[in-house]
Structure 1
Amino acid sequence: MNAVLDKRPVPMKISNLQSGFQILSRLPLANSRQAALEINYFLDSLLQTPPQGEVYLQLLEQTRISLCFIEEELARCYINKALPLGDFEASTFHQVVATWLKAARAYSHCAQMLDSDSDVHAERLALILHRCIFYTGMVIIEHHRARQELPAGVWLNLHGYYASAEEWGIATLPVPDSLDSLGRSSHCTAAYISLLLAELASPYSLSIADISLVRRWVSNWSPLVGMHPAVADEPLPPFVVDLMQDCGLRASSECLQREHLRRLDTSRLVSQLNQVKRQLQQRIPPAQLGLGEDCTAAQCHRLLNRLYKPWCMLRAARRFRRHNASGTSKVSTGFSAMHYHISGKEFQQPEVASIYSRQEFESLFAFRHMLDPTQMLEVRQVQLGFGFDTWEVLDQCANGFRLLRSVVGKKVEPGQLLSICPHDGNSHLLAQVAWLMQEEGGSLIAGIAALPGKPQAVAARGLTYEPGRQDPYHRAFLLPAVPAIGSEQTLILPPGWYRPERLLEVYTENLMQVRLQRLVADGADFERVSFIVV
């Protein structure tokens, strides 16, 4: 009989600080994957053969900086990646999440080993609950950064840790935080509120850079926010925390019982936001305001304006009413495919610049007997790789859609440009991915914001004044002005094309010269620019 051998190492017994510190000092931090294996082995050993309570706690505290460094290195594998995640990316994501949960479980286990008669028992419990909130919160943060659907129960766990701290009267008891770069202390309420504020920021619609800024700001400003039980005779704010529901803040209109409700007092945070916005307008650098050294004033001002209403507990009014819809929409991505579907034909150099690439020449020669310039052949569409992805429409409004894709298709990323043929139309619109999330089963759900106006597929090239040189034309799109909503005419160009006052030649039915004015919007793969005809 062949025996199946378990190749996992047998957990070792760590009975004192010296042996534990020696193991941690040998972690190969330059090799994040090996270090992750070893620190997981270390946590497993503590969980299975726990030392005396005080030793246990000190060893867990000693792991914090190394653990966060290792997990951040591994997270580079899956953050800022198009969805759905690849197998290796998904495997790394699940490994990181499992480690955060294991660290929270180790602290919870450690609490059972502590001497309850100790004079510092309250301080130890506050420290442990703060770490449980932090590590469970990192599970939420990783799902935001990887744009993955939150697993069931994670918010209930957080509510439970906070409710315990509140019940034992230690929710605001200061605890040291070795991860704070300024050496500041924290407490359970601040750690808990920082996660609620991060969830209010609509993280699935934020870039990774903006998510990092939000994390930094909520860490700095969460102590300004108060947490109070809901009082029977007082009106509730628009959003409250229900400690018995598996979600963050929720609409107070949905809450029938007040027993487990908590409301946030953000008045001091509002004052802070207003003060920072005024100082940015006075051209004080973001670094001097504690906003960060890796961000611009324009980025901070844009993000603060976006966060102001949700962080003030104000309900943002919808510009357009959303209503249910059903059907399937055809979606294409990439300039080449979008140009093909919007124009209804293959892109060719205008006759004013008959320059063909070798690939175009070979394609024209190989398929010269098949191509009919008056028809759009399905076989040619497939040959060019310009097929559609099919998305289900969940609901829509005047300027966008909420879509679901439950079948395999092209990868998608937030901010990406795409063309969409709606379920109730027969022509393609240009749109941008406003937010994106991968569900636990692998399906993608996305918010799509339509760009105003019916797009026209055009050709564009930069003007050159070198004698005898003519650059080839590239695919671009022209969006007409829509005065009803105050939208001016714009060009959709490949990324990197925009420079103020740059001159371009744009070929529609006729040739025109335009001067670029300002960058109206941009995304992962395009720039939308206003212009004037010269």
Structure 2
Amino acid sequence: MTSTPIKLKIPAQDLAAPTRFSANVADVSNWLQSLPDASLAGELSSALAELNSCAISPQVRYDILEVLRPQVENANAQLARHYLNQSPLVSTDVLGHAEQADQLCTLLGTAYTIVGVEVCTQGGAGKTAKLACEAIHRALMCCGRAVLQTMQLYRPLHMDGWMNLHQLYALAQQQKIAELPVPDPLDAGPTITAAYLQAILLGCCQPNRSRQSDLAVLYKALGDWSQHVALHPTPSDGSLFVVDIDSDQPPLYRHLVPEETTGRRLYLDTAQLLLDLRELHERALRTGATFESGSRLPVNILEQVVAALSTKRSRTFKRMLSRKTLAISPGMKNCHYYVASGLIFEQVLYGAIFEASRLIKEERFTPPLPNTDIWHEANPHEDFIHSTMNQAQEWVQLDEASRARLFRDEIDDGLADGVSHYPVYQVPLADVSPGGYCLDLDPAFPGVLRTGELVCLQEDNNSAWQIAVIRWLHMPSESRLLAGLELLSPRARAFGACIHDKSGKKTPPMRALLLPEIKIIGQAATLVTPRAGFREG
């Protein structure tokens, strides 16, 4: 590895000095204090781009960057509010915020790379080697954050993104500083190797199958877990993935890389990490994995990581191109409604003659409670209107379809804007297989899709509503989103479920779906509930 040239691109330092501030820490601090929050990201981008073209000694440049870095992190946090926790098919304005965040990470990473390259070129030991180690570690941290931000948007990494990661690690290996501990590693791994593997492992963990918030927690965890992964020039029994550090490619399954391929390969040995994760999984089976920062990684994400690092994924069914459209309605609330033949949740619990007029009035003027069920504060004994009429006078005979339509029309007519609470979208298909569908969406799609979200779907107006889950999202371009749906069941039944605590108290009912047993594939009957504290027993 020592004889191969390093392929890192850095701008020419053809400016004598920066124009926004003098090249010293005190003046940079004063300049930062004068910046308004509204223009922080733009000013930092311009300042970093200019600084990267200035001829400054490595130590002075590093000291300036350490002052700028916290403000870059603040600016990135502000920008993230505009593009996270919404549909990946964002508007042009929102996409601009994401691109600006990526640019900030790239510029800061380039600045630290300049320090590392210049120090390594000049040679030396002691403090000089320490500066090179810290600068390369910071550069890898910036590159890793760019990887995280890109994967949170389900997009491919920009050109040279993986190449920069690989080559920074190769430079550290060449200088024999990859395993030196970094005094202040921040939220990256404690060594250059660990920081490099933190980003590499994220690419191995099927990030397009995770939610944005879960990816952020997972990335922090990988900073610690990466210390239990080894890189070897030759494969071993625990080597499922391989990286070519001379390429601009993410980690790949080892069996997909031909043996005759040129380039320097490093094989990831995750055997020890898998042992640790399986032990952690047993401890966290009911509560999830909790970290010192207070962040919690759901058990299902932990299971996904173990599966991704231990077995190679391959398609079970053959995909066939399709130009048909599919009716979908995402979310547990919508699935419950359509599976129940158009009955609202209260009607499922207390019968189709449940009085809905009060519910309509409350929904018209009262904002919905965040992250709670509509039934959370309802009182069925007060909401159900008891009449003095005898039962024969009170009952009206209606067939099921008419009754469902009557209540649906009553609720929809009561909405101020006339928009249904349970939207259905007609979406085009990219391909189909016996196990599911691939949706092909464009920016005109009005809904929001998230990985792991329940979806009910219908192939035509006369067919039953099927239950599926969004397994993965991928954006091959800015105007196209592919969503993979895995079929769970051809039908379901709608119920309400309560959590019983140890004292005997129970929560208000929450929506639940019962998926029937499918004997032909050995699938037992399954109860689908919200992400709450349910457990078997």
TM-score (norm 2): 0.70
Report the secondary structure of 1:352's partner residue. coil
What is the aligned counterpart of 2:455 among 395, 418, 421? 418
Aligned to 2:143: 136
Deviations 1:55-114 (A, max 9, x none): 112111232333223312321222221231234432211111111111112223344655
Deviations 1:441-479 (A, max 9, x none): 3211112122323246x69799xxxxxxxxxx9998664
Deviations 1:240-296 (A, max 9, x none): 112244332212222222642111222332343244345547x99955xxx335356
Structure 1 vs Structure 2 CA RMSD: 4.2
Aligned to 1:439: 476
Matched-pair contact (CA < 8 Å) for 1:100–1:138: yes
Deviation for aligned residue 1:326: 2.5
Matched-pair contact (CA < 8 Å) for 1:32–1:73: no
Matched-pair contact (CA < 8 Å) for 1:13–1:45: no
Aligned to 2:233: 229
What is the aligned counterpart of 1:43 among 38, 43, 48? 48
Are 2:302 and 1:314 equivalent residues in the alignment? no
Deviation for aligned residue 1:308: 1.9
Report the secondary structure of 1:439's partner residue. strand
Q: Distance in 1 between matches of 2:305 and 2:123?
A: 45
Deviation for aligned residue 1:338: 6.0
Q: Distance in 1 between matches of 2:232 and 2:52?
A: 35
- Map of 1:13-28 to 2, 5 A cutoff? 13-24=21-32, 26=33
**CA 286–346 in structure 1, closer or farther in 2 if over 3 Å, else same:** closer
- Map of 1:85-96 to 2, 5 A cutoff? 85-96=90-101
Are 2:270 and 1:266 equivalent residues in the alignment? yes
- Map of 1:353-372 to 2, 5 A cutoff? 353=354, 355-356=356-357
Deviation for aligned residue 1:142: 0.5
What is the aligned counterpart of 1:58 among 57, 63, 71? 63
Deviations 1:401-460 (A, max 9, x none): 23222462122221333332349995442222222233333211112122323246x697
Are 2:100 and 1:102 equivalent residues in the alignment? no
What is the aligned counterpart of 1:201 among 188, 202, 205? 205
Deviation for aligned residue 1:389: 2.5
Tell me which moved more, 108-117 or 324-333. Answer: 108-117
Report the secondary structure of 1:227's partner residue. strand
- Map of 1:216-295 to 2, 5 A cutoff? 216-230=220-234, 237-256=239-258, 257=261, 259-277=263-281, 279-280=283-284, 291-292=291-292, 294-295=294-295
Aligned to 1:327: 323
Matched-pair contact (CA < 8 Å) for 2:28–2:67: no
Matched-pair contact (CA < 8 Å) for 1:236–1:263: no
- Map of 1:130-529 to 2, 5 A cutoff? 130-177=137-184, 179-180=186-187, 186-230=190-234, 237-256=239-258, 257=261, 259-277=263-281, 279-280=283-284, 291-292=291-292, 294-295=294-295, 301-311=299-309, 313-316=310-313, 320-333=316-329, 352-353=353-354, 355-356=356-357, 388-398=425-435, 400-406=436-442, 408-414=444-450, 415-422=452-459, 426-455=463-492, 479-484=515-520, 485-488=522-525, 490=527
Q: Distance in 2 between matches of 1:122 and 1:475?
A: 60
* Higher RCO by CA contacts (8 Å cutoff, separation 6 or greater): 2
Q: Distance in 1 between matches of 2:460 and 2:482?
A: 17
Q: Distance in 2 between matches of 1:474 and 1:128?
A: 52
**CA 359–20 in structure 1, closer or farther in 2 if over 3 Å, else same:** closer
Question: What amino acid maps onto 2:174 in structure 1?
Answer: E
Q: Distance in 2 between matches of 1:62 and 1:32?
A: 17
**CA 207–390 in structure 1, closer or farther in 2 if over 3 Å, else same:** closer
Deviation for aligned residue 1:333: 2.1
Question: What amino acid maps onto 1:21 in structure 2?
Answer: S
Deviation for aligned residue 1:195: 0.9
Deviations 1:330-357 (A, max 9, x none): 1332578767876887989776336457
Q: Distance in 2 between matches of 1:279 and 1:373?
A: 51
**Unaligned ranges ≥5, structure 1:** 1-9, 361-371, 463-472, 500-517, 521-529
**CA 310–355 in structure 1, closer or farther in 2 if over 3 Å, else same:** closer
Deviation for aligned residue 1:239: 1.9
Aligned to 2:76: 71
Matched-pair contact (CA < 8 Å) for 1:436–1:444: yes
Report the secondary structure of 2:48's partner residue. helix
Deviations 1:507-532 (A, max 9, x none): xxxxxxxxxxx578xxxxxxxxx9xx
Deviation for aligned residue 1:387: 5.5
Question: What amino acid maps onto 2:255 in structure 1?
Answer: S
Question: What amino acid maps onto 1:201 in structure 2?
Answer: C
Q: Distance in 2 between matches of 1:247 and 1:75?
A: 26
Deviation for aligned residue 1:220: 1.0
Report the secondary structure of 2:242's partner residue. strand
Deviation for aligned residue 1:179: 1.7
Q: Distance in 1 between matches of 2:227 and 2:528?
A: 45
Question: What amino acid maps onto 2:84 in structure 1?
Answer: I
Deviation for aligned residue 1:227: 1.2
Q: Distance in 2 between matches of 1:190 and 1:111?
A: 17
Q: Distance in 2 between matches of 1:211 and 1:269?
A: 18
Q: Distance in 2 between matches of 1:323 and 1:453?
A: 19
Report the secondary structure of 2:180's partner residue. coil
**CA 421–246 in structure 1, closer or farther in 2 if over 3 Å, else same:** farther
Matched-pair contact (CA < 8 Å) for 2:189–2:224: no
Deviation for aligned residue 1:198: 1.4
Deviations 1:177-223 (A, max 9, x none): 3525xxx9833221111111112222222233422331222111212
**Unaligned ranges ≥5, structure 2:** 1-17, 362-400, 413-417, 499-508
Matched-pair contact (CA < 8 Å) for 1:331–1:391: no
Q: Distance in 2 between matches of 1:266 and 1:358?
A: 54
Question: What amino acid maps onto 2:57 in structure 1?
Answer: Q
Matched-pair contact (CA < 8 Å) for 1:15–1:52: no
Deviation for aligned residue 1:163: 2.2
**CA 23–445 in structure 1, closer or farther in 2 if over 3 Å, else same:** same
Deviation for aligned residue 1:19: 1.9
Q: Distance in 1 between matches of 2:353 and 2:497?
A: 12
Deviation for aligned residue 1:304: 2.9
Tell me which moved more, 154-163 or 477-486. Answer: 477-486
**CA 448–353 in structure 1, closer or farther in 2 if over 3 Å, else same:** same
